[in-house]
Structure 1
């Protein structure tokens, strides 16, 4: 059975920027866990960022924290490590956290730290898609299930 990469925060691991999680409770995820199909991964933690950490948003191809720090290198490193994991396990599908500067599939924040979402992709989601991994957000779980069927 094929493995599926899932954002660690969606599996109940408190790795989000604010030290929390956004656990996605769904019977299919529990089934995948029992089958050993899930690879949990947090690109931001893999890139060396701490938990908690300052919120960051994409602005002009850079990832900038709300304090003005450029954290692009850590986000890029995390994206590359995520791609390596997908390649190592032959992963073709990923379920990632929407609106994250790493994992956002359809939306990200506008880069001005005002809580405004815009259409766009996080660095990890974009890199995975560019390399043949189909990325879905937690809001697209039915579409992922259909793609896997």
Structure 2
């Protein structure tokens, strides 16, 4: 902690936010959504891992794993049909290390706000939100 006598921060015993920390932040962003989105968003599975899997990077033609902070895996609600065979749950993936890297590079935003922004972006894929709908929920989108 900084004091007037010691302006340098004491980082002893501190560690980078872990997977559980980012998951809590993402779930907090869902809890802050307006209804009816809040309840519906709880039905999307959430996975937080350090990096995107290699096969995902290959499929998306991404060479640098730090370029992908999140991913929606599933069929967007507007495209679903009662005739569809269940394919498993829709999943939002958050990638901790790329999110932390972007947070450090920005240096001007709280980590929970960045995680919330990524989460809302991925939920937009799930719900099929327009840019205007996203902007109504996530002020960063404006």
The alignment's TM-score, normalised by the length of structure 2, stands at 0.29
Higher normalized strand content (fraction of residues):
1
More relative contact order in 1 or in 2 (CA 8 Å, sep 6+)? 2
The alignment's TM-score, normalised by the length of structure 1, stands at 0.28
- Select the structure of larger CA radius of gyration: 2
Higher normalized helix content (fraction of residues):
2
